[in-house]
Amino acid sequence: MSQTSVAENSKTLTQCVYTFGGGKAEGTMKMKQLLGGKGANLAEMTNIGVPVPPGLTITTEVCNYYTDNAGQWPSTLLDELKQKMQWLESVTGKGFGDNENPLLLSVRSGAPVSMPGMMDTVLNLGLTAVSVEGLAKKANNARFAYDAYRRFIQMFSNVVLEVEHKLFEEILEAKKEAYKVEIDADLPVEALKELVTEYKSMIKKNKGIDFPDDPWEQLTRSVNAVFDSWGNDRAIYYRRLNGIAHNLGTAVNVQSMVFGNMGDTSLTGVCFSRDPSTGENVFYGEYLVNAQGEDVVAGIRTPKPISEMGKEFPELHKELVDTGRELEKYFKDIQDLEFTIEDGKLYMLQTRTGKRTAKAAVKIAVDFVSEGLIDQNEAILRVDPYQIDQLLHPMIDPKTKYTPIAKGLPASPGASVGKIVFDAAKAAELSEKSSDALILVREETSPEDIEGMAVSKGILTARGGMTSHAAVVARGMGKCCVAGCGDAKIREDEGVMIIGDQTFKEGDWITLNGTTGEVVAGKVDLIEPQLSGEFETILKWSDAVRRMKVRTNADTPHDSTVAREFGAEGIGLCRTEHMFFGEDRIPVVREMILAKDTASRESALAKLLPFQREDFIGIFRAMKGLPVTIRLLDPPLHEFLPHTAEDQQKLSQATGIDALEIKHTVESLHELNPMLGHRGCRLGLTYPEINTMQATAIIEAACVLKKEGIEVIPEIMVPLVGNTKEFETAKKVIDAAAKSTMQTQGVEVEYLVGTMIEVPRAAIVADKIAKTAEFFSFGTNDLTQMTMGFSRDDVGKFLPHYLEHDILEADPFAKLDQEGVGELVKLGIQKGRQSRPTLKIGICGEHGGEPSSVEFCHRVGMDYVSCSPFRVPIARIAAAQAALKDKQS
Amino acid sequence: MSQTSVAENSKTLTQCVYTFGGGKAEGTMKMKQLLGGKGANLAEMTNIGVPVPPGLTITTEVCNYYTDNAGQWPSTLLDELKQKMQWLESVTGKGFGDNENPLLLSVRSGAPVSMPGMMDTVLNLGLTAVSVEGLAKKANNARFAYDAYRRFIQMFSNVVLEVEHKLFEEILEAKKEAYKVEIDADLPVEALKELVTEYKSMIKKNKGIDFPDDPWEQLTRSVNAVFDSWGNDRAIYYRRLNGIAHNLGTAVNVQSMVFGNMGDTSLTGVCFSRDPSTGENVFYGEYLVNAQGEDVVAGIRTPKPISEMGKEFPELHKELVDTGRELEKYFKDIQDLEFTIEDGKLYMLQTRTGKRTAKAAVKIAVDFVSEGLIDQNEAILRVDPYQIDQLLHPMIDPKTKYTPIAKGLPASPGASVGKIVFDAAKAAELSEKSSDALILVREETSPEDIEGMAVSKGILTARGGMTSHAAVVARGMGKCCVAGCGDAKIREDEGVMIIGDQTFKEGDWITLNGTTGEVVAGKVDLIEPQLSGEFETILKWSDAVRRMKVRTNADTPHDSTVAREFGAEGIGLCRTEHMFFGEDRIPVVREMILAKDTASRESALAKLLPFQREDFIGIFRAMKGLPVTIRLLDPPLHEFLPHTAEDQQKLSQATGIDALEIKHTVESLHELNPMLGHRGCRLGLTYPEINTMQATAIIEAACVLKKEGIEVIPEIMVPLVGNTKEFETAKKVIDAAAKSTMQTQGVEVEYLVGTMIEVPRAAIVADKIAKTAEFFSFGTNDLTQMTMGFSRDDVGKFLPHYLEHDILEADPFAKLDQEGVGELVKLGIQKGRQSRPTLKIGICGEHGGEPSSVEFCHRVGMDYVSCSPFRVPIARIAAAQAALKDKQS
């Protein structure tokens, strides 16, 4: 890409600098890519008559040229800049470098995408040892002039000459002490003059140079510093964190200064056109009298709330609010504004779309519709589905400062505070004795830990990725989880967790932030989620425009009910094995696994059948006739067996089977790579009696419902199919069981038999499979695992390195890898529909609730997505946005 | 397919029956599909004037119609059959059902593909209680007539009426005792008449029916029995075993009988036109005087060798040999013949291509070229590459009868006899003390077992598939291996192996047949392989016609030398980690893994560097300038660490590292699915210093060779790449190391950097990877593993079931799954060459030595295949055959 940029640049750099001011601008708001967000909006404000100090924008193309050519300027830039500076001088009536009436400049970065605070700024540029006196005279305010000069020296030295900030602070602090003042603004002009002298000699001492006294040298070096700041570590890190391309470049805004520090009728401030936390329609922000912009941010003086301004400067306040409202109407979104009042006159220095919380985003979007500013579709697009988690889970109070001690994967959103417990059974025990919240801390979790997970507020694991057992189950429960936290050395047998040099024992308090993956020692304040009426409105609007259905992954009547309340339109994945771990079932499951022959296996299955039937009746009832996709037994059998000698001994006592024999069975079921082993449909093919039992239980349950007058169409799903024969063989057994069950029950029920597409081979031969399969559900967890060769349980060993070094852009278990895995999904859909044009197709991997993946599912023509209950609202909005974007393009 | 057949049949069944006899036939040898092999050859023999008893062939289409329509005949069949039976009556001058001069028939199956002994036959059909007397009179031989009749009753009853064979045997035995004769042929006519009566009443008693006395009923029921036999278990099993399609159907040959049992000038026999064991050009076979065909096979009388016939019946012998020679010339292949001499007149009953051993196949092919019968290309196509293993490894003596006690996967061909040893170290120890051969018996092998494997004659494992560690290493060593033998319960700690109710201890003798997967208790006789001059000739001819190069997978100078002797044209896969297990290296490798930081890891790597360099120098030297592809470190690191407390203690003593810390490191490196974990390029990306060390060692070695005047172009291969960034990042490190090494050495060497394509995603994005990758090597072991989701180490749990139940046609780790995995290979090649048309592409998975996979590699345009040294000759022939077939089509 950078190669292309050079080529393009050297050809098309016909205009390097764009002017704004004097009532009109060369740019517009549409030119963000070229002028950056700030430059484009300054131009637009100028054009619509908002008071903006005039200035110039050097384009992002120049930045890219500069980057690609080792810091060289395009050949035409200097001439063009000189010529447009003359224009700026004429429009401001001041002279750049003029000793009597100097034109002072602010030089600020402005990228196409907002990167707040990430790059450098220089104010008051153009002052020299001589012109500062001219300014003092002209403004009739020596204090102001020297205040501007000392600020310039400090900022320029810091940004361009790379003199450490604290060296200036030390001198300033000493000066305030000497003059016995508390704040900078109280320093008299003498003090400021001394500061200027002391700063300059400190710079000489440190860098061995005189502070540059030539305005053009100041300007060109500052422009270069802004360009250089595009490539600094802070900026690169921010871009990586926020998925911003590295080749956009930044523009440079060279703007004539207006001064909030000209005395008591001057002030400067930042504000939002509405409250960015709540979305309420009140002007929100703060200001400082007799100050320059950085003072508001720096926290040296405490700014006043903008409402104060209404009392202090009622007319200026009205003018500001009116301007803000006007800009909000014009840009049709909440505005984040910077302004300065110079001696009673208002100037707008910046306007941009305001960042907001999820709560505010939802309220503002709905309010804008009532106010007639945008339509419902636009409102839907205004809500960031990635933020929605904030509305559904407890979060760390944004006002709280805390220091994480470790970071894992953000496996399930929300935050939780609790006492550490290292054992699931112990968690269950403790939860009965005390109401103290618990955090289950495990090397990794397994299905046996479910009960312990259910009684805990949060889960922390050292291993496993975004689709590890802990992550999937926690998301299903809507419970906070940090997974794969490699920094945490968890020694379950010793009952300790070591992070860095801190050792945690059972009962110690910790806080987890599952939205960020952070782990914090001790307790941190949380805020509880609140669902607002506006959110319901957005969801209703979304439902009206989306094409795709949204289903849920749920294994119990309880989860099904929760999901329905979140708007799920069916179950896309009901994992039957999760039911096998109940206290009353696991002994029978084990009996089945330990069976020596088909007859004893069938006898154990006969005992399991009533349990399964009751499970399905409960789920069907909770879903009230909505479609339910039930996956047949999937995990390797050894997951159900006890692995410690002690547990094996117990099982031996319970079953009468020799303990050594149990040990041998467990050993014989051990697999080197269980994910690629004897699981999925391979179980039901080698032991068809399992399929028979499950199909019977499903159809019996459907018959019971039908007798109650509720029609259910169960969708029976065969997992891990890789070739046609596997599916056909399984389907025959299912159909036979269904037929015989319906005869026994004397009831006819409709049902479908379909398959997961999760083995890469299945996507390749999807045309053949679709000849008999009545639906497809893409199991993108396994499909990702096999297509990329990433074990989701072991990915913690290298994925963090991959993300940090840009080898991968995102965790493929969280965000569908569209380039690789997505190609197989597309192929599978295309081939499947080739054989069966009406094939019902969905996704039931964890990607079904991730917005960018949901959009992909829409684009490739899926009929529905399915996700954990707490992600259903997110998926509803994301599906609607996908449909709207599709229409737009 | 069967649907199609029905549709086709009902349309195109214009002719159901084809005649042959009276000097001409309606069919030809080209109509095997329609008339079956036997029918087509009978027609062809008739047309070229060989004496063949006239008859009819009912087509395979009729069989398929019959199968698809629940045993119904096509509407036209009966009329057509009647009409052509009239023709047969006229050409033989006999009457079907005529009481004085009855036309007797043989009814025999004949499928398009030879299925010897798999289906049923009825002889002497048409005899009735009345016509048997007519036959006696006409032949003036009552004994002959009743012999024919009692044979007919027995065969018809057995085949059509399903009366057990042994019931007839009991009566016959009693009769022989009563008449005090040893063999059937000595029974007088009275005895035969009694037999007829006793047979009939036994049938009446058993089946409650009278033996059918209507010739047409006999005929139609026999035809149906042949059709039915196509679907019997024996036939289905045979087809599955031999990969024959189930929808071919069988033809039925209804042929007028000639009688080898008419007295002392009648005889019957089977023979080959050359010796099918050695290929020598001598007539080979056996015959019986006064007998019918089944007597030769049944083993009741001992047949005489065909050479005897030259003394007994010199003229007839000459006529037979001349006819055989003529047929061999005509069909241009060794012929397997059946003949009958009726009262001094020779008739040929069947001719077909003779099955032969690999040794014979090679000799015959080469001899045929010298004799001018076929050209060199045809000779190459005549050799079955699947048989070649017979020439390269010891085999169980075909003359020996043995009963296997268990069956595993045929993981590495050849046979071996030895004493059981359960521990690799113990094997090494025993091999020094005694020269007794050893068989290493393990649950599964790991790289630590290499030395024990090297000193053993064969390897038996209970787990693991065709590409498990044991299988791959054994094939590399050319050593017999039976893997994944689930029937064997191996308790290494208890030092026993239990198979069924037999328990084996260390020192017990067993025999393995790695070609079939059989395990035999005790010692079985072996024969040693012999390489003949003819084989060298075939290989030379093959080399001249093949397009693809054949390389080898070799990790040591010794293997490289062996492979070169087998004709390898380079190394396609040199696995660097196999070098890491040497006694002098493993401590350093462990030091590297246990390193706490980059500096200590680099220091350990610096110690490994000279070892690796020497390895590469040795291999480069052995390969004398041929290309060598070296794969960078691939396996998960935990494979190199000690896993028992005892071994960890030892390592602790050796390194001074705390044993508990070692334990923790081993635990932290444990992975749930190591095949999808931290391995392959992921190692070299997270620890770039490993790539640097290996690249340095490779380039240093190449520099050393270049200084000696030998040019090597090392091909450095990055394993397990799934996305472009992975490859690019690795390549940068390799290039940097290469550049700096060449500067230090003062030598420029050419080298390539390429990648394995083994992760499915790599095939999908091959166009992007090929932008920087300079070659592709398809790692079809891993690609199969991930595309199908089959762990090659765990596949033994369900693969046997899959094969037995036709869910899979073949073990995909042995034979490339062209439908699924093959599609990804094609995609990867097409996309790779799209970006880089000259991309060098090969395969280094175990499929590179499997004939059908080699053909696939040719078809999809690969430049070379690479396989274990002992499979190189097979691949050379297979590649030549692929090129020839390609030209033909």
Q: Is B63 a catalytic residue?
A: no
Task: Tell me the pairing of strands B628-631 and B714-718.
Answer: parallel
- pLDDT, residue A646, reads 85
Residues B128-141, mean pLDDT to the nearest whole number: 94
Closest CA to B275 of B214, B334, B346, B323: B334
Q: What is the pLDDT of residues B42-90, one digit of tens each?
A: 999 999 999 999 999 999 999 999 999 989 999 999 999 999 999 999 9
CA distances from A341 to A677, B305, B834 (A): 71, 121, 62
- pLDDT, residue A299, reads 62
The vertex-B40 CA angle with B35 and B41, nearest 5°, equals 150
- pLDDT, residue B617, reads 96
CA distances from B91 to B24, B27, B53, B85 (A): 11, 17, 10, 10
Taking 90 as the threshold, does the pLDDT of residue B470 lie above it? Answer: no
Taking 70 as the threshold, does the pLDDT of residue B297 lie above it? Answer: no
> Hey, is the C-beta of A764 within 8 angstroms of any chain B C-beta?
yes
Rounded CA-CA distance B856/B859 in Å is 5
Subunit contact A759:B789, Cβ cutoff 8 A: yes
* Angle, in degrees to the nearest 10, between helices B872-888 and B533-545: 50
> Hey, is the C-beta of A446 within 8 angstroms of any chain B C-beta?
no
Residues of A whose CB is below 8 A from B786: 676, 760, 786-787, 789
Taking 50 as the threshold, does the pLDDT of residue B748 lie above it? Answer: yes
> Hey, is the C-beta of B790 within 8 angstroms of any chain A C-beta?
yes
Subunit contact B798:A686, Cβ cutoff 8 A: yes
Subunit contact A787:B790, Cβ cutoff 8 A: no
Specify the DSSP element, H or E, that contains A418: strand A415-421
> Hey, is the C-beta of A824 within 8 angstroms of any chain B C-beta?
yes
Both structure tokens of B564: 């070169």
Q: A573: distance to nearest CA of chain B, Å?
A: 21
Whose structure tokens read 């043995």?
A: B402
- pLDDT, residue A328, reads 95
Subunit contact B807:A725, Cβ cutoff 8 A: yes
Q: What is the pLDDT of residues A643-694, one digit of tens each?
A: 888 888 988 888 888 888 888 888 888 888 999 999 999 999 999 999 999 9
Closest CA to A340 of A276, A296, A275: A296
Subunit contact A765:B820, Cβ cutoff 8 A: yes
* Residues contacting residue B110 through CB under 8 Å, at least 6 positions apart: B35, B36, B37, B38, B39, B57, B250, B251, B252, B253
Q: How many helices (H) and strands (E) does chain A have?
A: 35, 32
Q: What's this model's pTM, rounded to 2 decimal places?
A: 0.85
Instruction: Judge whether A727 and A632 are in contact, CB under 8 Å.
Output: no
CA torsion sign for B423, B429, B433, B435 is positive
Residues of A whose CB is below 8 A from B498: none
* Residues contacting residue A540 through CB under 8 Å, at least 6 positions apart: none
CA distances from A849 to A872, B68, B741 (A): 7, 50, 51
Both structure tokens of A723: 């070739």
**CB count, 10 Å around CB of B431?**
18
Q: A672: distance to nearest CA of chain B, Å?
A: 7
Q: B454: distance to nearest CA of chain A, Å?
A: 24
Subunit contact B786:A760, Cβ cutoff 8 A: yes
Both structure tokens of B56: 């009819």
How many Cβ pairs closer than 8 A exist between chain A and B? Answer: 174
Mutate to test the interface with A, among B467, B792, B794, B801 (most CBs of A within 10 A): B794
Helix/strand/coil (H/E/C) assignment for every residue in B658-725: CHHHHHHHHHHHCCCCHHHCCCCHHHHHHCHHHHHHHHHHHHHHHHHHHHCCCCCCEEEEECCCCCHH
Which residue of B764, B790, B805 is in closest CB contact with A823? B764
Instruction: Judge whether A65 and A13 are in contact, CB under 8 Å.
Output: yes
Subunit contact B685:A765, Cβ cutoff 8 A: no
Subunit contact A675:B674, Cβ cutoff 8 A: no
Q: What is the pLDDT of residues B368-422, one digit of tens each?
A: 999 999 999 999 999 999 888 888 899 888 778 889 999 988 888 899 999 999 9
Task: Tell me the pairing of strands B345-353 and B335-342.
Answer: antiparallel
- Count Cβ neighbours within 10 Å for each residue of B601-613 and write b for 16 or more, e otherwise: bbebbeebbebbb
**CB count, 10 Å around CB of B666?**
20
Q: Which residue of A has its CA nearest to B683?
A: A798
Q: Which residue of A has its CA nearest to B443?
A: A668
Both structure tokens of A73: 């300027």
Specify the DSSP element, H or E, that contains B89: helix B77-92
Q: What is the pLDDT of residues B778-814, one digit of tens each?
A: 999 999 999 999 998 888 889 989 988 889 989 999 9
Which residue of A759, A797, A807 is in closest CB contact with B726? A807
Subunit contact A798:B725, Cβ cutoff 8 A: no
Residues of B whose CB is below 8 A from A685: 798, 801-802, 805, 807
Please spell the DSSP secondary structure of A767-829, one letter per residue. HHHTTT-SEEEE-HHHHHHHHHT--TTTGGGTHHHHHHTTSSSS-TTTS--TTTHHHHHHHHH
> Hey, is the C-beta of B353 within 8 angstroms of any chain A C-beta?
no
Q: What is the mean pLDDT of chain B?
A: 92
Q: Which residue of A has its CA nearest to B800?
A: A686
Which residue of B673, B759, B793 is in closest CB contact with A675? B673
Subunit contact B794:A677, Cβ cutoff 8 A: yes
Residues of A whose CB is below 8 A from B729: 805, 807
Which residue of A489, A673, A787 is in closest CB contact with B794? A673
Q: Which residue of A has its CA nearest to B491?
A: A664
Which residue of B729, B786, B824 is in closest CB contact with A807? B729
- pLDDT, residue B496, reads 93
- Count Cβ neighbours within 10 Å for each residue of A417-431 and write b for 16 or more, e otherwise: bbbbbbbbeebbebb
Question: Hey, which residues 709-728 in chain A have their CB within 8 Å of chain B?
Answer: 720, 722-723, 725-726
Burial group, residue B355, by CB count within 10 angstroms (0-12, 13-18, 19+): middle
* Angle, in degrees to the nearest 10, between helices A533-545 and A872-888: 50
Subunit contact A761:B817, Cβ cutoff 8 A: yes
Which residue of B672, B720, B798 is in closest CB contact with A789? B720
Which residue of B723, B789, B817 is in closest CB contact with A786? B789
Q: Which residue of B has its CA nearest to A682?
A: B798
Predicted complex ipTM: 0.85
The vertex-B164 CA angle with B161 and B167, nearest 5°, equals 120
Torsion region of B338: left, alpha or beta (phi above 0 gives left; psi -120 to 50 gives alpha)? beta
> Hey, is the C-beta of A809 within 8 angstroms of any chain B C-beta?
no
Mutate to test the interface with A, among B797, B808, B824 (most CBs of A within 10 A): B797
Rg (CA), chain A: 33
**pLDDT classification of B117: cutoffs 50, 70, 90:** low
What residue ranges of chain A have pLDDT lower than 70?
1-12, 116-119, 241, 297-300
**pLDDT classification of B309: cutoffs 50, 70, 90:** very high
Q: Looking at A574, A844, A857, A867, which residue is catalytic? A: A844
* Residues contacting residue B573 through CB under 8 Å, at least 6 positions apart: B551, B553, B554, B629, B631, B717, B777, B844, B866
Rounded CA-CA distance A449/A578 in Å is 11
Q: Looking at B469, B578, B638, B847, which residue is catalytic? A: B469
Q: Strand order in B284-289's β-sheet?
A: B304-305, B284-289, B267-272, B335-342, B345-353
Both structure tokens of B631: 């794969």
> Hey, is the C-beta of A672 within 8 angstroms of any chain B C-beta?
yes
- pLDDT, residue A806, reads 86
- pLDDT, residue A300, reads 66
**pLDDT classification of B336: cutoffs 50, 70, 90:** very high
Q: Which residue of B has its CA nearest to A679?
A: B798
Residue A333 DSSP label:
S
Q: Is A469 a catalytic residue?
A: yes
Instruction: Judge whether B270 and B291 are in contact, CB under 8 Å.
Output: no
> Hey, is the C-beta of B820 within 8 angstroms of any chain A C-beta?
yes
Residues of A whose CB is below 8 A from B489: 664
- CA B241 remoteness from chain centre: 9
Instruction: Judge whether B464 and B446 are in contact, CB under 8 Å.
Output: no
Subunit contact A824:B760, Cβ cutoff 8 A: yes
